[in-house]
Structure 1
Amino acid sequence: MTTPRDLLTVAMDMESSRPLERGDLSLALAGAELIDLLSAQAIRMDGDHIVPAHRPTVADRLLDQAASSLAREAPYESVGDWLWRRGHGLATAYLAALEAEGQLTRQHRRWMPFRTGRTVLADSPARRRAADRWTSHEPILTALAAAAGINDTQPGDPPSVADDAVATVLAAVNDAVRELEAVRQRRAIEKAAFDNIWRGDGD
């Protein structure tokens, strides 16, 4: 399993009192990919820019796709730009991958045999490994989960990590999630103002 898959597994397993925003999760997944590529020494950081190193052989299809999509010539891509570009629709892509691999099942109710039911994770060693990583409060997974709003956590200052490159990625994920929330709030205000105009015209 990769960090993005562990993050998605945790997101699906955790109960939350508020809906999980798929855009926030997608940004966190893109950050998780970068952290795994750092761990594989496939990239290094030059400030907040991503510099590709060797092209690794990656067993995971989506992580390999991430590695192949890196900008390999200067000026290199910033972490923030990567998160917005790579993160677009990424949660959906990872869900589709889990489903294609048979790691998702449909939870049916006996009295509703013709309903598709709710999609849940199948019991698997990968799911248990992700749960172990979560319950051990592994700092990177905890920080990414907080950025995505999993388990009622809130984005905040990333936890202290020894690796400066990882800290840079975590900080960028938090910044991107805050920016996305600001966009949502602005659109909600604009929509409310537009609705008020229409209601006013109808009076």
Structure 2
Amino acid sequence: MTTPRDLLIVAMDAESGRALERGDLSLALAGAELIDLLSAQAVRLDGERIVPGYRPTLPDRLLDQAASLVQQSPYESVDDWLWRRGHGLAAAYLSALEDDGEVTREHRRWRPFEAGQTVLADSPARRRAMDRWTSREAVLTALATAARINGAETGGEPAEVDDAVSTVLAAVHDAVTELEAERQRRAVEKAAFDNIWRGDGS
């Protein structure tokens, strides 16, 4: 299993009284992919630019897709990577887990994703992910915090990660914050439009 898959399993397993924002989770999953690529030495960071390393064969299909990077300078920034790679990534990973038999469909609503009826299977992958979660593994916990997964609050960035991972975690946090600000802006604009439509703004 990979950090993105573990993160999605944690997101599904965590009790939550609200629906997770798929956009937030997708950005965090993209960050998890980049951290795994750093760990595999498939990439390195030059400041905030992602520089390709050697091209390993990665057993996970989605992570292998993620390793297709800009090969020439100027390289892609971490921020640009998160927005490009993160588009629709939560749905892609959910589909991959379903294809691998890690999740099943039931005739009841699963709370984190309002549109889904998907529940986790009792599998070694689930137990591994939850072991990382219950042990408060630094990277997984920080990514879960950025995605606002219930129970993930840590009170700050973990100290035991290296500079490159810290850069990715900070970028994920900033991207999620930016996305939330955009959602709020659109909500305000919609409310103002609705008021005008009803004649309340005259």
Show the counterpart of 1:113.
none
Show the counterpart of 2:113.
none
Report percent identity of matched pairs.
76
The alpha-carbon deviation at position 158 of structure 1 amounts to 2.7
Change over 3 Å in CA distance of 1:201–1:178 after alignment to 2: closer
Rounded to whole Å, the distance in 2 between the matches of 1:145 and 1:41 is 23
Rounded to whole Å, the distance in 1 between the matches of 2:78 and 2:201 is 48
Q: Is contact 1:146-1:156 (8 Å) kept?
A: no
With the length of structure 2 as denominator, give the TM-score of the two structures.
0.91
Show the counterpart of 1:75.
74
**Matching of residues 46-195 of structure 1 within 5 Å:** 46-68=46-68, 70-108=69-107, 118-153=117-152, 157-195=156-194
Show the counterpart of 2:111.
none
Q: Is contact 1:157-1:171 (8 Å) kept?
A: no
Show the counterpart of 1:6.
6
The alpha-carbon deviation at position 154 of structure 1 amounts to 5.7
Query: Structure 1 counterpart of 2:192, which letter?
Result: A
With the length of structure 1 as denominator, give the TM-score of the two structures.
0.91
Q: Is contact 1:147-1:156 (8 Å) kept?
A: no
Tell me the matched-pair count.
195
Show the counterpart of 2:45.
45
Three-state SS of the structure 2 residue aligned to 1:45 is strand
Change over 3 Å in CA distance of 1:157–1:172 after alignment to 2: farther
Rounded to whole Å, the distance in 1 between the matches of 2:61 and 2:163 is 27
Query: Structure 2 counterpart of 1:18, which letter?
Result: R
The alpha-carbon deviation at position 17 of structure 1 amounts to 2.2
The alpha-carbon deviation at position 100 of structure 1 amounts to 1.3
Change over 3 Å in CA distance of 1:75–1:83 after alignment to 2: same
Q: Is contact 1:37-1:67 (8 Å) kept?
A: yes
Three-state SS of the structure 2 residue aligned to 1:55 is coil
Q: Is contact 2:7-2:143 (8 Å) kept?
A: yes
Instruction: Please list every run of 5 or more consecutive structure 1 residues that lacks an aligned counterpart in the other structure.
Output: 110-116
RMSD between aligned alpha carbons? 1.9
Change over 3 Å in CA distance of 1:58–1:181 after alignment to 2: same
Show the counterpart of 1:25.
25
Rounded to whole Å, the distance in 1 between the matches of 2:167 and 2:141 is 16
The alpha-carbon deviation at position 99 of structure 1 amounts to 1.1
Query: Structure 1 counterpart of 2:180, which letter?
Result: E
Rounded to whole Å, the distance in 1 between the matches of 2:137 and 2:152 is 15
Rounded to whole Å, the distance in 2 between the matches of 1:106 and 1:83 is 29
Rounded to whole Å, the distance in 1 between the matches of 2:14 and 2:7 is 11
Rounded to whole Å, the distance in 1 between the matches of 2:123 and 2:20 is 23
Change over 3 Å in CA distance of 1:118–1:44 after alignment to 2: same
Query: Structure 2 counterpart of 1:182, which letter?
Result: A
Query: Structure 2 counterpart of 1:192, which letter?
Result: A
